[in-house]
Amino acid sequence: MTYLGTRNIATFSTDIDSRDFTMHKREQVINSVMTQLEKRGKGIVLLHDFHRNTAEALPELLRQLKLAGYRVVPLVPKEQVTTIPKYDEMFEHRENLSTSAHQPVSATASGQDAAMQRHNMYMYAPARRKGAPTTGAN
């Protein structure tokens, strides 16, 4: 963590897991997020942007968040992260690097888990304003 701080790379975790990867309908995703936010009052929500149900849920989820008095706050870096030349070169020659296909199964995440680790999006919902209406989640 200290090393990341020296490179101006922020670290954070989620407060609410939408569990959208287990759901097949956009209404389920919306209900999951809004119910959990109602209980916590605020938090960083984990969503997986490669699931169709999540993509379809976003417009309505954002509408309900706004109606409930939550704000969506973008996470924007203070400055551009500079890359490390050693790793830049490794990336340029990545075909020469070993891949998970050559590692034992126990040493790697499942294909879906690995894909989910690469394609996450986060949403921060600060505490609701006093007097804001409760959620309209179905």
114 token code pair: 């690995």
Q: Which domain holds residue 76?
A: 2-96+121-125
Question: In angstroms, rounded to a whole number, what is the distance separating the alpha carbons of residues 67 and 47?
Answer: 20
Domain membership of residue 109 (yes or no) is: no
How high is the pLDDT of residue 122? 53
Q: What is the CATH number of the domain that holds 48?
A: 3.20.20.370
Domain membership of residue 103 (yes or no) is: no
* Domain count across the chain: 1
Domain membership of residue 28 (yes or no) is: yes
Domain membership of residue 58 (yes or no) is: yes
Q: CA-CA distances (angstroms) from residue 25 to 19, 36, 65?
A: 12, 17, 18
Question: In angstroms, rounded to a whole number, what is the distance separating the alpha carbons of residues 137 and 30?
Answer: 7
How high is the pLDDT of residue 75? 76
Domain membership of residue 134 (yes or no) is: no
How high is the pLDDT of residue 82? 78
How high is the pLDDT of residue 78? 76
How high is the pLDDT of residue 34? 94
How high is the pLDDT of residue 89? 84
CB 48 within 8 A of CB 115: no
pLDDT tens by residue, the chain, 138 residues: 788 877 778 788 888 888 888 988 999 999 999 999 999 998 888 888 788 888 999 999 999 999 999 988 877 777 777 788 888 888 787 776 655 544 444 343 444 444 444 445 555 556 555 555 444 443
Read off the pTM.
Answer: 0.56
